[in-house]
């Protein structure tokens, strides 16, 4: 059973089907006039959330108050969080506000960027036969491949993502200070729904060491409000320099991984549709000679993530400005903060691998191969009765998806309005039967006469 961060508020849902039309894995159906998410197909990419005109699809998170359940609560921040704020709000000021809100420690996810890069390099040395190797950074991409491109799961590098490596680093560093594990709460500030799912149901591991997840937009509002309330004259004790290296800061943007890899031929592709277009070619053996792929579900990668509070290009600009200043400090001899992780590098590298990623194909019709073939034949026969216009009036996104639903979910062919007309012309179906079929999809309210 896979955890999903996306949930539908049924009373608010108007059944407009926009979410159904944009879902890349055809995970959404309309039933009784409401959207319904099929968990076995969902990758938590959030396209449905973006498309919903009434905010009926929301992203779950843990209660912020749970940070006070631990004497040593840790805010595990992605660099993109710090770039949500205006340039006049310094990193040290944001760190201070986080501690005023209740966090005892702050670690940035990108602290482990160099460890993640080295772990991938070591893996690549011994797995050239699996090329192109695909980064495990983006959990939405990992789940997309599991579900829609199961033949490519062996290409995914079974390595912990930076958020998990940084959580390990935080626990180890605090443990060396004498703080027991039970007193430490690791709270990841997530920029997207897919990473919530990755924490709650990690791929290749039984459970995550991260204790809670806080949505980035929610924490941004808390921090911004705190800073404004305190005013510019607020006095605070600057924490230890939070300056990361330029490479670490940029690692979550598009090309962030690719620029550090040693592959002769590699691609950095962002945007879910762009990724799927490329994977289609890869699965059909239309692309050869590629050694490494950095694939990200969001445009501009994490700068364009679902829970961002600002324009992705402005966020990216702030990250590049921060990286440029970090590079200048490094040239002047300053040692970036992520070098502190070197003390634990071998420990992290020794524990960086996870189990091989397993396919989770949405097209599995039956465990019995003979029965599965029979169902596939039936689906192909049913497609002959469908108009192939993908109108969505049956409550499924495409005619092909509707044919599969008929076999797996046992819905009736009479939900197709074109087939209804065919039966009506032959006097084989009544108006009341047509209405009942549509009521099952769109609910009774839409079928009532507006004058009644």
**Rounded CA gap, 3 and 384, in Å?**
36
**Rounded CA gap, 330 and 349, in Å?**
25
- Mean pLDDT on 241-256: 88
Instruction: Please state the pTM of the whole predicted model.
Output: 0.91
- Mean pLDDT on 438-447: 86
Three-state SS string over 256-317 comes to CCHHHCCCCCEEEEECHHHHHHHHHHHHCCCCCCCCEEEEECCCCHHHHCCCCCCCHHHHHH
- Mean pLDDT on 401-424: 91
Cβ atoms within 10 Å, residue 151: 11
Rg (CA), the chain: 25
pLDDT at 349: 96
Judged by average pLDDT, the poorest of 183-197, 231-245, 381-395, 402-416 is: 231-245
pLDDT at 232: 79
pLDDT at 157: 96
> Which is more confident, 164 or 336?
164
pLDDT at 1: 60
**Rounded CA gap, 20 and 26, in Å?**
7
367: confidence class by pLDDT, cuts 50, 70, 90: confident
> Which is more confident, 275 or 129?
275
Contact assessment for residue 412 and residue 388, using Cβ atoms and an 8 Å cutoff: no
Q: Work out the percent of the chain whose per-residue pLDDT is above 70.
A: 96
Q: Is the pLDDT of residue 90 over 90?
A: no
SS3 321: helix
Contact assessment for residue 79 and residue 319, using Cβ atoms and an 8 Å cutoff: yes
pLDDT, tens digit, 9 for 90 and up, residues 304-322: 999 999 999 999 999 999 9
Q: Is the pLDDT of residue 450 over 60?
A: no
Contact assessment for residue 209 and residue 193, using Cβ atoms and an 8 Å cutoff: no
Q: Virtual CA dihedral for 82, 85, 90, 91, nearest 10 degrees?
A: -10
1-60 adopts what CATH topology? Answer: Alpha-Beta Plaits (3.30.70)
Tokens of 79: 């660099």
Contact assessment for residue 86 and residue 33, using Cβ atoms and an 8 Å cutoff: no
**Rounded CA gap, 241 and 233, in Å?**
21
283: confidence class by pLDDT, cuts 50, 70, 90: very high
Q: Is the pLDDT of residue 235 over 80?
A: no
| Domain boundaries of the chain, sorted by first residue | 1-60, 64-350, 365-452
Of 222, 20, 183, nearest to 105 by C-alpha is 183
When the pLDDT of each residue in the chain is averaged and rounded to a whole number, the result is 92
Q: Is the pLDDT of residue 451 over 60?
A: no
pLDDT, tens digit, 9 for 90 and up, residues 372-386: 899 999 999 999 889
Strand partners, 267: 293
Cα–Cα distance list, 237 to 14, 82, 99, 234, 280 (Å): 50, 19, 11, 10, 53
Q: Is the pLDDT of residue 226 over 90?
A: yes
205: confidence class by pLDDT, cuts 50, 70, 90: confident
Query: Measured in Å, how far apart are the chain's first and last C-alpha atoms?
Result: 45
Q: Virtual CA dihedral for 292, 154, 118, 111, nearest 10 degrees?
A: 100
**Rounded CA gap, 420 and 437, in Å?**
9
Strand partners, 292: 133, 266
pLDDT at 206: 87
pLDDT at 144: 96
- Mean pLDDT on 321-332: 92
Q: Is the pLDDT of residue 245 over 60?
A: yes
> Which is more confident, 184 or 448?
184
Note if the bond before 109 is cis, omega within 30 degrees: no
pLDDT at 262: 79
SS3 186: strand
Of 43, 319, 81, nearest to 195 by C-alpha is 43
CATH 1.10.15.40 correct for 365-452:
yes
Judged by average pLDDT, the poorest of 183-197, 350-364, 397-411 is: 350-364
Contact assessment for residue 15 and residue 442, using Cβ atoms and an 8 Å cutoff: yes
Judged by average pLDDT, the poorest of 212-221, 243-252, 267-276 is: 243-252
Query: 292-296 and 266-270 as β-strands: parallel, antiparallel, unpaired?
Result: parallel
Q: Is the pLDDT of residue 365 over 90?
A: no
Contact assessment for residue 201 and residue 2, using Cβ atoms and an 8 Å cutoff: yes
pLDDT at 163: 95
pLDDT, tens digit, 9 for 90 and up, residues 5-57: 999 999 999 999 999 999 999 999 999 999 999 988 999 999 999 999 999 99
**Rounded CA gap, 103 and 133, in Å?**
38
- Mean pLDDT on 238-260: 85
Judged by average pLDDT, the poorest of 149-163, 173-187, 404-418 is: 404-418
């Amino acid at each position: 059973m896979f955890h999903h961060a996306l949930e539908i508020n049924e009373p608010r849902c108007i059944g407009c089907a926009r979410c159904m039309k944009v879902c890349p894995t055809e995970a959404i159906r309309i039933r009784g006039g409401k959207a319904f998410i099929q968990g076995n197909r969902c990758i938590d990419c959030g396209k449905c959330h973006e498309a919903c005109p009434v905010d009926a699809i929301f992203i779950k998170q843990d209660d912020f108050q749970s940070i006070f359940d631990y004497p040593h609560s840790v805010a595990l921040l992605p660099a993109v969080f710090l770039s949500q704020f205006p340039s006049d709000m310094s990193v040290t000021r944001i760190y201070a506000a986080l501690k005023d809100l209740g966090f005892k420690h702050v670690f940035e996810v990108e602290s482990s960027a160099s460890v993640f890069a080295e772990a991938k390099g070591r893996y690549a040395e011994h797995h050239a036969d699996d090329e192109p190797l695909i980064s495990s950074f983006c959990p939405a991409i990992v789940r997309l491949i599991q579900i829609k491109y199961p033949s490519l799961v062996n290409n995914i590098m079974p390595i912990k993502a930076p958020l998990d490596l940084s959580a390990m680093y935080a626990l180890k560093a605090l443990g060396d200070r004498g703080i027991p594990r039970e007193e430490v709460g690791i709270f990841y500030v997530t920029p997207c729904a897919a990473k919530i799912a990755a924490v709650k149901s990690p791929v290749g591991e039984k459970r995550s060491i991260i204790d809670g997840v806080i949505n980035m937009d929610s924490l941004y509002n808390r921090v911004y409000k705190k800073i404004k309330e305190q005013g510019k004259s607020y006095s605070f004790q600057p924490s230890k320099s939070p300056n990361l290296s330029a490479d670490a800061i940029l690692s979550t943007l598009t090309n962030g991984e690719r620029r550090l890899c040693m592959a002769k031929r590699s691609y950095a592709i962002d945007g879910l549709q762009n990724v799927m277009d490329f994977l289609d070619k890869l699965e059909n053996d239309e692309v050869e000679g590629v050694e490494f792929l950095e694939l990200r579900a969001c445009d501009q990668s994490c700068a364009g993530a679902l829970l961002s509070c600002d324009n992705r290009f402005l966020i990216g600009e702030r990250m590049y400005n921060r990286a440029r200043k970090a590079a200048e400090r490094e040239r002047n001899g300053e040692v970036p903060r992520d070098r502190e992780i070197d003390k634990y590098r071998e420990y992290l590298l020794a524990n960086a691998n996870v189990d091989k990623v397993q396919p989770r194909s949405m097209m599995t019709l039956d465990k019995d191969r003979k029965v599965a073939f029979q169902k596939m034949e039936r689906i192909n026969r049913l497609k002959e009765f469908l108009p192939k216009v993908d109108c969505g009036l049956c409550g499924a996104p495409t005619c092909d998806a509707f044919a599969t639903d008929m076999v797996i979910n046992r819905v009736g062919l009479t939900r197709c309005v074109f087939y209804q007309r065919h039966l009506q012309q032959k006097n084989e179906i009544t108006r009341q039967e047509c209405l009942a079929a549509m009521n099952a999809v769109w609910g009774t309210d839409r079928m009532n006469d507006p004058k009644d």
